[in-house]
Amino acid sequence: MNDGSQSSLGPGRGIVDFRPATVIAPPTGLRLLQFAPDPALRAHVQCLWYAQGCDASGADTQELLHPDGGMGLLFNFGGPVSRDDGVASWAAWIDGPKLRTARLRAGWDLDLLGVRFRPGSGALIVGEPLSELAGVEPIPGDALGHLALEALHERLWQAPDLASRIAMLERFLLQRLRHAEALPAVLPASLEWLRQRSLEGEGPASIAMLAKELPIGQRRLERLFRHYVGLSPKRYARLMRIARSRELIKRGGMDVSLTDTAHAAGYYDQAHFIHDFKTVTGLTPGGYREHAKRRYGHGA
């Protein structure tokens, strides 16, 4: 299988982030390629990705999969996948919006192709309220028969190379979107509003304040979030703040105090910051800083 170079993928596509195990210290046993989606998909798809196990003897082969409010589809061409305390041996599955960080073991036989959707957009592809899929274990592909993910996996398996698989997966997504409803206009605007609040470190986002800026009431906003995102606006805002905190910790390394990090992320109570961080990631902020130091070195 080739690596899907930019020329083989055609115009408008290509590798946007490539971190082979030799770049990340220490090696993690995972080789990851991320691809920019077709321009017609970019409003709904964050990226397509390919992960392959590699030799990393003696290394920590655990990958942290942090929640970002989005969901994904995965297609397995290798051995059973160890995640958290379970093993996924399906050909394909749906990875609903996560509430907490998941832990993936990157074995030598790992061979996964996936697509990561933007928050809110996954519901258009699966045709189901994401409130039914959020915070649960990965769902086998045949559980949602109308998606025919098992049949798609079979076609992907027979494709000659990675570039062909990506093109086939994109055609599937475009076909689903052609028959999907449009996202309510207030939803992308609300998601962006909450994301910007987290980036600016303005503290807990007031959902009531957000609702006042929209032509709908707070209850309607809550229902839209649960249907399309699978999370309440408040829970989504917390995930954004923790994501911001993780980035600040990676950038600052050991030189920036965790108290300053908490304040920069909009937390004015250290206990609240530690509680939220550990609830989402399973690690204390200090524990995550040690993880980031081992994984990335000083800073990110």
Measured CA to CA, the distance from residue 186 to residue 23 in angstroms comes to: 41
pLDDT at residue number 289? 93
Mean pLDDT score, 171-195: 92
Q: 6-178: which CATH number, 2.60.120.200, 3.30.70.1170, 3.40.50.970, 2.60.120.10?
A: 2.60.120.10
pTM attached to this predicted model: 0.85
- Give the three-class secondary structure for 213: coil
* Domain limits, the chain: 6-178, 186-296
Categorize the per-residue pLDDT at 203 as very low, low, confident or very high, splitting at 50, 70 and 90: low
Q: Is the pLDDT of residue 70 over 60?
A: yes
| Backbone phi and psi for residue 260, each to the nearest 5 degrees, phi listed first | -65, -40
User: Closest Cα to residue 1, out of 116, 156, 172?
Assistant: 156
pLDDT at 258: 92
Nearest CA among 45, 35, 38 for reference residue 6: 35
Nearest residue to 169 via CA among 118, 110, 132, 125: 125
The CATH architecture assigned to 186-296 reads: Orthogonal Bundle (1.10)
Q: How confident is the model at residue 201 (pLDDT cuts 50, 70, 90)?
A: low
Per-residue pLDDT averaged across 141-149, rounded?
93
Q: Band the pLDDT of 24: cuts 50, 70, 90.
A: very low
Query: pLDDT-based confidence at 16, cuts 50/70/90?
Result: very low
- Please give the residue that has the higher pLDDT: either 7 or 142: 142
Residue 28 clears pLDDT 80, i.e. is over it: no
Which tens digits make up the pLDDT trace of 80-115?
A: 998 888 888 899 999 999 999 999 887 888 999 999
**C-beta atoms surrounding 7 within 10 Å:** 9
C-alpha closest to that of 194 among 217, 211, 176: 211
- Given a cut of 70, is residue 179 above it in pLDDT? yes
Task: Tell me the backbone φ, ψ of residue 54, rounded to 5 degrees.
Answer: -145, 170
Distance CA 271, CA 269 (A): 6
pLDDT score of 6: 36
Contact predicate 47/113, CB 8 Å: no
Look up residue 232 and give its amino acid.
S
